[in-house]
Chain A
């Protein structure tokens, strides 16, 4: 349970970090931010980085701010910072609520939002939020900056479209409307465990009917995604009752569930039906 040896780098600026990545990424160099997923993987020797580039000493990456209608979450913003934040309006409230499902408080004190995206665990709450609300991920390398829409970011289990030498600088969300409604629900075996299925919905009402529906699932397929079929079914309906029942059925039908030693595909479909109904119900309160 001890990691393999590595060389440690603690750059003081983004330029330095990016140039270190440029030098070492091809030879097994990796970024460490919160380390709450990377260090366990290193302990199991599932990850054996030869160089660790620690971005925790870079000033300014810990900014969590609202600017020009966007919420910007810097690379070293911790889950606990999001939980304690007071900005961001409706989106901020949504993030605070979801943050409480991310692991346990000591992990939240150290783990980062952007690190969770880069790690891309299929059941990670933040990956679901980023996918459902169309976040943009800003990355940098020695070749310059690049902005990746969440729809192009997640590719599979712990796989993203980031190049090995790219550093995630921040994640950006468009703010939600003040009157936007949302609901999040996840099932995990114990509090703080990885979600076996999670659903997030957000929408607005226009004359009592759903508009701008966004619906995403996490922990079900190899990466979280929006389900446009479900969104289309919700659009124009009155929230509740028949509309929600139909959406939950559609969600359960539209997926290609992962299977593992504990969970069959059928069981995951049932979970999807349940988390979808409950996320939708929560959007009413």
Chain B
């Protein structure tokens, strides 16, 4: 057992003081030390995107970053997107468009889409397809995910211009 270090993570507007080994990824720290198990780990080497979270406004793979590196960052995980009583437009759209089946990849897709729409609210289809190609889904065939994100984008745009 190696020495642990004390780290303060800022996740979903809350501080978490945790004691971890430097080799622990941000994904593992979120799940095991912060109790935020909404972030899923699929491949653990940056290919599948299930672990995508938002760090300082940008979508990143939380399995490809060590938690000690995330100390000064503002992290948003899927728990910070919405909650059962108050779903984010993306979460509602995923339900309405059947954009998930087993749900394993869903937190990653939601966070990827949320960061993307935050940065580029009126993203065009080609660019959105390119972004969504970052993550893997083995159930849906991606079509419904694309439809859901487009629907959420339209709703979010209409809402913000109201």
Partner of A1, one of B45, B68, B69, B116: B45
Question: Which candidate, A39-47, A140-148, A264-272, is the interface stretch facing chain B?
Answer: A39-47
Residue of A nearest to B21 (CB): A5
Which residues from chain A contact B61 at a C-beta distance below 8 Å? Answer: 36, 106-107, 110
Tell me if B's interface is mostly helix, strand, loop or mixed: mixed
Question: Which candidate, B8-16, B86-94, B129-137, is the interface stretch facing chain A?
Answer: B129-137
Tell me if B63 counts as interface (CB < 8 A to partner A).
yes
Tell me if A's interface is mostly helix, strand, loop or mixed: loop
Could you tell me the distance between the alpha carbons of A52 and B5 in the complex, rounded to whole angstroms? 14
Residues A43 and B44 in contact in the complex (CB < 8 Å), given A36-B64, A80-B58: yes
Tell me if B112 counts as interface (CB < 8 A to partner A).
yes
Min CB–CB distance B117 → chain A (angstroms): 13
Tell me if B145 counts as interface (CB < 8 A to partner A).
no
Partner of B64, one of A2, A8, A40: A40
Q: Are A106 and B45 in contact (CB under 8 A)?
A: no
Q: Which of A1, A3, A5, A39 has the most CB of B within 10 A?
A: A39
Could you tell me the distance between the alpha carbons of A147 and B26 in the complex, rounded to whole angstroms? 35
Tell me if A35 counts as interface (CB < 8 A to partner B).
yes
Which residues from chain A contact B25 at a C-beta distance below 8 Å? Answer: 39
Which residues from chain A contact B131 at a C-beta distance below 8 Å? Answer: 104-105
- Residue total for A at the interface (Cβ-Cβ under 8 A): 31
Tell me the residues in window 65-124 of chain B with beta carbons closer than 8 Å to chain A beta carbons. 65-66, 68-69, 112, 116
Partner of A106, one of B5, B44, B59: B59
Q: Are B134 and A104 in contact (CB under 8 A)?
A: yes
Could you tell me the distance between the alpha carbons of A105 and B69 in the complex, rounded to whole angstroms? 20
Residues A5 and B52 in contact in the complex (CB < 8 Å), given A35-B65, A105-B134, A191-B133: no
Residues of A at the B interface (CB closer than 8 Å) are 1-8, 10, 32, 35-36, 39-40, 42-44, 52, 54, 56, 80, 100, 104-107, 109-110, 190-192
Show 12 A/B contacts (Cβ-Cβ < 8 Å), sorted by A.
A7-B22, A36-B46, A39-B25, A39-B64, A39-B65, A105-B59, A105-B131, A106-B49, A106-B60, A107-B46, A107-B134, A110-B61
